Amino acid sequence: MTAAQQTIHVGGEWRAALSGATREIIDPVDATPFEVVAEGGVADTDDAVAAARAAFDFGAWPRTPAAERAALLRRVAVLLERDRERIGALESRDAGKTLQEGRVDVDCVRDAFRYFADLVENEDGGGRAVDAGSDEIRSVVVHEPVGVCALITPWNYPLLQASWKIAPALAAGNTFVIKPSEITPLTTVVLVELLLEAGLPLGAANIVTGPGDTVGARLAEHPQVDLVSFTGGLVSGTKVARSAADSVKKVALELGGKNPNVVFADACSTPEGFDTAVDQALNAAFIHSGQVCSAGSRLIIEEPLRDRFVAELSRRAELIRLGRGTDAGVECGPLVSAAQLARTEAYVASALAEGAALRAGGGRPAGPGYFFRPTVLDRCHRGMRVVREEVFGPVLTVETFRTEEEAVALANDTEYGLAGAVWTSDEHRARRVAGLLRHGTVWINDFHPYLPQAEWGGFGKSGIGRELGPGGFAEYREAKHIYQNLAPRPVRWFAGTTAKG
């Protein structure tokens, strides 16, 4: 047994799967295995939950003062800075992103830890006093950790998505079991190592590497788990919600998106405006090969601008340099797996069969790995699967509108509601449209940035609850109202039951 296969951490001990099963981790650039991890199962999951339960019920972490919890989170941030290159490179290899993206991810993870450290430290520890309308009543609302948190994460931003859950969970004083995606578990294992190095009490952080339908499903249904926070696809998310219902645990779901990027012609009335809108549309759709929950995969453009815009966008899409993320000059990596590649190919084939016009890409480049060329599909409409469903690949569809009302209606015509953007030089229109879009994040003349201080999450089938910001922190806490009567006396509701003299 090599150390590499001991990727399950339970109650302070690194170990292999109880069954001895392992899984190869595939480098998506050349489709070859480069690492082996433990393939945990239900028994490993039960052990991990028991450890997290004991650490919550009897351990030090939930009883650690907020300032000390904040200090630990800050130590993790420092360790992330120390190991930035190593972790960034590992994320790049595991998830098939560029090294620069891997580095940025580590920086964002560090910022998440710092943000939640600040949030918990700056809180009034005494709780929120409530005016009960009487000097004889002392009423206060305090916040306590929820308990044992099950954290389930996807493969596209493995470390970042883990941090959006781990940092607030720990800041609030919870213990947790995390199950990273079986496709990209490596940096989450490293993050747990850093938590331990920073001094987190044993048992507070547990990890089980393994598949969703065993480890993930067991976490979601487990009666000893108080909260499940899941980021992933709609199909798995609904299963998680169903499994969690029997034990009435708290559920937070961050699911997919089919995100509109609405471009009005006035945004492109100058050469600079045109260049910026095209550049950002490219970025919106193709960064990380479109494997982004908030990818701007639906370009919704004002009709008279369409031909010029799509021609330039397609020209630039053809120039995107694909390759290994650590190689100089590479701008985009491959898709994460053979399954994801096949899925993308199927969506493009269906779009072409349904009448879409191919303007760029459309297939795989020569050579090994799970690469797919950035693809622009013009003349699309809502009747097409590729416009309604999340592809999670480098595929941009183009729809057009003639009026503002039509633009808003198209942008909201999705079962999802994660993110969307509006491009316009008209400030009034920008506010109007932003106000009407039914999406959890709306960008005006931008695409993709998020802030740790601002809530992230979706309307509709994009999820339940929020991550980041005070709202994201609130998911990991229970509110408790403590009502103290300073002058207790009988209420005499039952008038015939006076005390015996």
Residues classed as catalytic: 254, 293
Distance, C-alpha 135 to centroid of its chain = 46
Transcribe 34-96 into DSSP letters: EEEEE---HHHHHHHHHHHHHHHHTSSGGGS-HHHHHHHHHHHHHHHHHTHHHHHHHHHHHHT
Task: Check: CB of residue 310 under 8 Å from CB of residue 361.
Answer: no
Contact residues: ligand NAD, CB under 6 A: 152-157, 161, 179, 181-182, 211-213, 216-217, 220, 231-233, 236, 239-240, 254-257, 293, 390, 392, 418, 458, 463
Tokens of 109: 């993870």
Task: Check: CB of residue 201 under 8 Å from CB of residue 193.
Answer: no
In angstroms, what is the minimal distance from the CB of 352 to ligand NAD? 23
| Burial letters 364-401, b for 16+ CB under 10 A, else e | beeeebbbbbbbbbbbbeeebebbebbbbbbbbbbbbb
Task: Check: CB of residue 179 under 8 Å from CB of residue 228.
Answer: no
In the bound state with ligand NAD, the residue whose beta carbon lies nearer, of 189 and 277, is 189
CB atoms within 10 A of CB 357: 13
In angstroms, what is the minimal distance from the CB of 253 to ligand NAD? 8
Phi, psi of 398 (to 5 degrees): -120, 125
Distance from first CA to last CA of the chain, Å, rounded? 78
In angstroms, what is the minimal distance from the CB of 213 to ligand NAD? 5
In the bound state with ligand NAD, the residue whose beta carbon lies nearer, of 145 and 440, is 440
Closest CA to 247 of 261, 227, 273, 267: 227
In angstroms, what is the minimal distance from the CB of 310 to ligand NAD? 25
In the bound state with ligand NAD, the residue whose beta carbon lies nearer, of 42 and 140, is 42
In the bound state with ligand NAD, the residue whose beta carbon lies nearer, of 156 and 314, is 156
| Burial letters 124-156, b for 16+ CB under 10 A, else e | eeebeeeeeeeeeeebeeebebbbbbbbbbbbb
Rounded Cα distance, 342 and 348, in Å: 10
In the bound state with ligand NAD, the residue whose beta carbon lies nearer, of 201 and 211, is 211
Task: Check: CB of residue 107 under 8 Å from CB of residue 84.
Answer: yes
In angstroms, what is the minimal distance from the CB of 303 to ligand NAD? 29
In angstroms, what is the minimal distance from the CB of 215 to ligand NAD? 7
In angstroms, what is the minimal distance from the CB of 468 to ligand NAD? 10
Rounded Cα distance, 27 and 209, in Å: 17
Tokens of 481: 């109202």
In the bound state with ligand NAD, the residue whose beta carbon lies nearer, of 227 and 268, is 227
In the bound state with ligand NAD, the residue whose beta carbon lies nearer, of 201 and 233, is 233
In the bound state with ligand NAD, the residue whose beta carbon lies nearer, of 452 and 463, is 463
Task: Check: CB of residue 296 under 8 Å from CB of residue 398.
Answer: no
Task: Check: CB of residue 41 under 8 Å from CB of residue 215.
Answer: yes
Rounded Cα distance, 56 and 226, in Å: 11
- At position 500, the amino acid (one-letter code) is K
In angstroms, what is the minimal distance from the CB of 181 to ligand NAD? 4
Tokens of 447: 């695409």
